[in-house]
Amino acid sequence: MRVEELFNYGIPEKVIEILKRENIENLYPPQEEALKKGLLDLKRNFLISIPTAGGKTLLAELLSLKSIIIRGGKVLYVVPLRALASEKFKEFKKYEEIGVKVAVSTGDYDSSDPWLKDYHIIITTSEKADSLLRHRASWLSDVNLLVVDEIHLLNDPHRGATLEILIAKLKKLVNPLILGLSATVKNAEEIASWLNAVLIKSNFRPVKLKEGVFIRGKIYYKDGSVEDSGIEDYMNFVLSYIKNGAQALIFVNRRKDSQSLALKFSKKIKLDKKTSIELKKIADEVLNVLPEPTEVCRELSKCVSRGVAFHNAGLANAQREIVEEAFRENLIKIIVATPTLAAGVNLPARLVLIRDYKRYETNLGYVYMPVMEIKQMLGRAGRPKYDNIGIALILAKSEEEADFLLESYIRADVEPIYSKLAVESTLRGQILSLIATNIANSDEELMAVVKNTFFSYQSELQHIRYIIDKILSFLEENMFIENYKATKLGKRVSELYLDPMSAVYLIEALKNAEKKEFNEFSFLHAITKTSELGLIYLRKKDYEMCIEEFYENKDYLLFDEELDEFVLAEIKTALFLRDWINECSEEKLLEKYGLAPGDIYNKIEIAEWLIYSMREIGKIIEADKRILKFLENLRIRVKYGVKEELAELVKIEGIGRARARLLYNAGFKSLEDIKNADIKELERIKGIGRKLAEKIKNKAMGIEYKEKKEYQTTLHEFGG
């Protein structure tokens, strides 16, 4: 079908012109099938289950635009990751020229984001969308189309339950039209039936995919054919592709391996002079993302300058974005990544090689990765518009292993999707939110929502009834609900997007703080009790330090503790936070705790939110005001990573820990000092300059400093 024929389905000519500018001339077979089966009639739910790059996003774009044009209202576009939300925002942004307003909201779980009422398409994560429901955002009543990207993540043990209950809540509240987008899954028919949706299922790919196993130069393909590449070493095999203008993705299971392998590739790859000059600029960007570069920053910069990068959760967000963009521009030729990349942004390459197909899991050791995850990685092979074929391989070390990989992964079907809702820790917060938002104020109403879930579709309700009754008793005992009504405390805990069990720990900490002497370590340790923060893994060399610190700080702990592995891990996590607020550099934190920049800022973001939440709960239970004041000051320190004396200075917009320290050391120790300062005094401070000096002065005086913004102002992130 020619793209011009979309006019017959109610798509305006201006939209067709935009698509043609994007070099879209024809629709793919699954896209055509969806249109012919009534996708744009706005009458039926649809589930699109096709491989990566099969054209799912275009169908979502067309349906979103048609819905806005014909019915008005809003489109809620739900994705699993913030990075994916940013990517989808860029894709939808092209429609702003026809008056479609697009926004992204992926953070700040204590807001209803009223500013979103002015937008047509709202792109968000499932957690943020759930948070918006808990805050009863008034504009949600205007949502008449729900797009769920990567809906197969219902199977995810961490995110699946939230996504599932979100869909059930929205069906109860506004009953929107639903479009589910999925990779190929074994039981797509079952998911479609649950959604009451028309299923479009296809194995179509715009670029042919050749899957196989690589062993000492030979490739055993899925179809039984064998190719002898003549290059036994897999690294040299990858480099042979790069010489011919291709790009490659290599998947390994550990961050350390992604770094070490990328460094090895960077020493072997050869680039032309023009590319090398461009990469030098990008390498400098990567190096200077943080105020003080770490060893990870230096290693990444070194690799990038030679056309190679590693990609893992330890990198700062800005570094990952720089690497991804340079890869899209075909400047970076090889990315060595952990599997998280496959579930995130769209980065296709001509060659994909999976070196590791096992991963380490606590208490289990190394386990085989699911077929679906392996297929997600393999599916990255083949760049639309660049390649006619994508080569996707798993590395084997022996003939026996090659046979195993062919049968267990290459020729195997992906696993069916199963609900992950019946997990008590997940359900606690969801049941409280249903009651707190008045979606369910009786047993009948609660079970009516549960009956709308995928879990209910797959299982007998009595399997979950026992867990629900247990949770209801817990919520009543802890005064979060009373007679199916949320208490003031229960409502606030739900709004703060806390696990109610975590709230119990925070409440206990607040009450105990009123009875004993406390310090910053008291509350930093208290938040390590929550399920949200996650403990830092203990290494052998950490034990002595943590045991010593335990006894040194025992009198200040807000819980009675007996020394064990978990308590030591809590101590280590609290020590990291204490070092952070005492201005320990990222380099030292990496060395002392094994935390890369991405880990550091992820932990800090959650820790700030938990300190904020503790203070908010403290208001509800009328905690001592000196504790509340202490917590607010501690929140500022956690957010910026500063000592007590800088807490006032970092409140000035644009002043982080490094600049605040420069100002303080130069004698400007308070807002009052800044207000009374001469601009020339400020600009003489190393690292400040005239422009920044003016901005600092104006902000301190309470004058709004105005300058042109080059970025989209609707892209909100937690913590600014």
End residue of a domain, out of 476, 491, 522: 476
In a shared domain, residues 468 and 331: no
End residue of a domain, out of 166, 201, 236: 201
The predicted-structure confidence for 241-262, as pLDDT tens digits, reads as follows: 999 889 999 999 999 999 999 9
In a shared domain, residues 340 and 449: no
Q: What is the CATH number of the domain that holds 695?
A: 1.10.150.20
Q: Calculate the average pLDDT of the chain.
A: 91
- Is residue 171 in some structural domain? yes
Q: What is the CATH number of the domain that holds 146?
A: 3.40.50.300
Single out the residue of 342, 313, 348 nearest to residue 327, CA to CA: 348
Are the beta carbons of 94 and 130 closer than 8 angstroms?
no
DSSP category for residue 370: P
- Is residue 552 in some structural domain? no
In a shared domain, residues 397 and 351: yes
In a shared domain, residues 322 and 366: yes
Are the beta carbons of 480 and 432 closer than 8 angstroms?
yes
- Is residue 511 in some structural domain? no
Single out the residue of 4, 22, 9, 14 nearest to residue 98, CA to CA: 14
Q: Token pair for residue 75? A: 């489109």
In a shared domain, residues 193 and 270: no
In a shared domain, residues 251 and 182: no
The predicted-structure confidence for 621-664, as pLDDT tens digits, reads as follows: 999 999 999 999 999 999 999 999 999 898 888 788 888 998 99
- Is residue 277 in some structural domain? yes
In a shared domain, residues 254 and 345: yes
| Residues contacting residue 630 through CB under 8 Å, at least 6 positions apart | 518, 523
In a shared domain, residues 245 and 334: yes
In a shared domain, residues 428 and 403: no
- Is residue 614 in some structural domain? no
Number of structural domains, the chain?
4
- Is residue 284 in some structural domain? yes
In a shared domain, residues 239 and 305: yes
Of the candidate ranges 60-64, 256-260, 292-296, 514-518, the one whose mean pLDDT is the lowest: 292-296
Of the candidate ranges 24-28, 471-475, 693-697, the one whose mean pLDDT is the lowest: 693-697
pLDDT confidence of residue 707: 35
pLDDT confidence of residue 344: 65
Give backbone dihedrals phi and psi of 188, rounded to 5 degrees, phi first: -60, -35
In a shared domain, residues 122 and 249: no
> Over 70: is that where the pLDDT of 704 sits?
no
In a shared domain, residues 148 and 257: no
| Residues contacting residue 704 through CB under 8 Å, at least 6 positions apart | 698
Domain range spanning residue 428? 421-476
End residue of a domain, out of 460, 476, 492: 476
Crossing angle, helix 543-553 and helix 565-581, to 10 degrees? 80
- Is residue 608 in some structural domain? no
Q: Token pair for residue 550? A: 């335990």
* Cα separations in angstroms, 630 against 67, 215, 639, 658: 50, 61, 14, 23
- Is residue 709 in some structural domain? yes
| Prediction pTM value | 0.90
The predicted-structure confidence for 594-616, as pLDDT tens digits, reads as follows: 999 999 999 999 999 999 999 99
